[in-house]
Amino acid sequence: MAQRKLLSQQKSRLTTEAQENKKATEEALQQLTKLPAEPPEWLDDTATNEWHRIFPLLEELPIASLDLALVSAYCTAYSDYINATIRMKNEDAIIVTERGTKLNQNHTIKRHALSQLNSIAPKLGLTIESRLKILDPSKEKTNGKSVFDIFGMDDDE
């Protein structure tokens, strides 16, 4: 689900009252409790290291304490991906069993963790595209042409 756009990012023409309401909402967003600097205790060492790596970056974005579960899920998925990659260095990609061959379970773990990372990262502003949407709002383009000029029509047609 897409996030709501900030007032400065919206292209629609809003009434003054609607603009004031949206601005008040954005200001209230800034008043939310900030994300704690210390990682949750349930994170493993790799996830904790990832927390410490991304925390300074998240402080620059409108991430609040309410996003704790999302940030910790990102760190856990990162940890799963890294740990599965390390385990795969010591094991073969294909495992031979009495029933035949099968793909190493670490491939499945990596695929699932990467899927989670790709799902969560844009929500937290951890991708280039999502940061551009948050930090560099697009300006509404007006070229000053009327609909008649665009379609090459005269006013009397």
DSSP letter at 44 equals: -
How many beta carbons lie within 10 A of that of residue 125, not counting itself?
21
Is pLDDT of 140 > 60?
Answer: no
Phi-psi region of 5 (alpha: psi -120 to 50; beta: other; left: phi over 0): beta
State pTM to two decimals.
0.66
CA 85, CA 94: separation in Å to the nearest integer?
A: 14
User: Which DSSP state fits 94?
Assistant: E
pLDDT bucket at 101, cuts 50 / 70 / 90: confident
Question: How does 41-65 read in b/e, with b if 16+ C-beta sit within 10 Å?
Answer: eebeebbbbbbeebbeebeebebee
State residue 70's pLDDT score: 93
